[in-house]
Structure 1
């Protein structure tokens, strides 16, 4: 067996660089950042043990070893494409897949309907949606695990592109039989006297709540009498219903419970707590066609 090894993705990237005579043009063709293409070529050269490409002015040309590899690469890639197309035809598979992540409120209460609408228009594209807190979604978009993310707060990372999607309002959630059930609003001082269920660290809801309360006179977020911290809006709602405490939560998350008479929403006097949900993507990653279709759909959708 040969000690030299490589994979189809490396051959594809290498072939596009040879054919287009440019790292930047090849990066667009394979939907990767130019830096990633350069890194893949360096890895391939290390595996083979020799230089495969040379820069000649503005052009990139293969070395003698590169020409030999390219001759075999185009044959192997053509065989792979033929096999894939024949298998797809045999199995009747639809093409295209998008991996995306969302924080809990958009992931649980907005995106299921939006993705359903998208799928009716793009029947050959499947969507893989993961739900986690906003910080984890940002981290996984930056790591390349997700092509797109939807979060409830911004960070200062210059590698992320943020595009505004939908508005959201935060309200105080209380049980329907709570003594405040006849009220429409309460003071922050009153809220501080009640047990309070907080979202976990990394939550976009928590970040927005902290920013609002810390702008008020007094102890800010420490005004609240925290009885528990939960990792999802669903858990928070169940905690409120069971009498564990009150909470501040997205109005979208409790819409069904309010209509059913299980919970009631109140506002805090003198504060209008609203936020945006943002579509995020990695600035260094070129969007695939399927990703571009989802991106355009999300930016024009109403939710």
Structure 2
């Protein structure tokens, strides 16, 4: 077995940089500092003996020819690693061997609906371990799924964005510009784009893909925020700003904690959201089927989960 001239963390940093072409955005997505991203890449290049990115002040980093080749090989490496990892589960027939699944779930869905029911599921399935990672809504999740690192992914994606056929559409969720009801005092709902543009906005991280996608989407409805009072990658921080009446935001209603919906209302409809599910292909694995059923039921059977339309039958 050859000694590999890199660590898995270095590969994760490289893959993020190749996707975002931004040290800052990659650092935010990975939860580390920009200096750490730069250092991980530097060490990786030194260990490989080649430059993977062209980096010039004021410009986004670009993959070199060697970097592009390494990126292609990394995709093959990730597919092979996922195939090797699948043997562990398929051979885990011992009653003492836990079955571990890795899941990627939207932040709001996990905190508001999945986490609250997790104890019951685990008590009923003692051999199953669930390893959750949470993310804000973004089309970048689609590329993350392609890496093969996750057994399941469940997240919201705006209905104007395409998604690949391996994802199941579970439901259509209401979306809009949400804010404290004080912003509509004395006005007729829905507010007009001109009225919305005058309100203070909180947006996703500045310069991030979620922010770019959101601004492009609401621009089609004539919404161009004139006053931005904050940026955050955390939905709960943004929701708290709405509850305090200091900002408005473009959201899926499902992200709003149920306790806030008395004071935080839809000021104007914009794009609705698709609720999507990815399940790694398996040959009728009853444990995987149980996890999938739990994910679907934890949302669609909850009377507080807002749906305009469902496309699957929950509870079956």
Q: Does 1:294 align with 2:299?
A: no
Contact 2:197-2:223 within 8 A present in 1 as well: no
Partner of 2:203: 198
Partner of 2:67: none
Cα deviation for residue 214 of structure 1 reads 3.7
The two structures have a TM-score, normalised by structure 2, of: 0.54
Q: Does 1:36 align with 2:80?
A: yes
Alignment of 1:131-146 (within 5 A): 131-133=134-136, 134-135=138-139, 137-146=141-150
C-alpha distance in 2 between matches for 1:172 and 1:226: 14
Q: Structure 2: which 5+ runs fail to align?
A: 4-78, 303-316
Cα deviation for residue 235 of structure 1 reads 0.9
Alignment root-mean-square deviation, CA: 4.1
Contact 2:184-2:267 within 8 A present in 1 as well: no
C-alpha distance in 2 between matches for 1:215 and 1:141: 28
Partner of 1:228: 230
Contact 2:168-2:278 within 8 A present in 1 as well: yes
C-alpha distance in 1 between matches for 2:213 and 2:120: 30
C-alpha distance in 2 between matches for 1:182 and 1:123: 55
Contact 2:242-2:264 within 8 A present in 1 as well: no
The two structures have a TM-score, normalised by structure 1, of: 0.56
Contact 1:191-1:224 within 8 A present in 2 as well: no
Alignment of 1:99-138 (within 5 A): 99-133=102-136, 134-135=138-139, 137-138=141-142
C-alpha distance in 2 between matches for 1:209 and 1:256: 27
Residue of 186, 192, 200 corresponding to 1:187? 192
Contact 1:197-1:229 within 8 A present in 2 as well: yes
Deviation track 1:189-246 (CA, whole Å, cap 9, x = no partner) reads 101011111124344x9746743x3433xxx453553332211211112223445422
Alignment of 1:1-303 (within 5 A): 36=80, 88=96, 95-133=98-136, 134-135=138-139, 137-153=141-157, 161-175=166-180, 178-181=182-185, 183=187, 184-200=189-205, 201-203=208-210, 207=213, 210-211=216-217, 213-216=218-221, 220-223=222-225, 225-252=227-254, 253-259=256-262, 263-268=263-268, 271=269, 273-281=271-279, 289-299=286-296, 302=300, 303=302
C-alpha distance in 2 between matches for 1:125 and 1:182: 53
C-alpha distance in 1 between matches for 2:166 and 2:141: 13
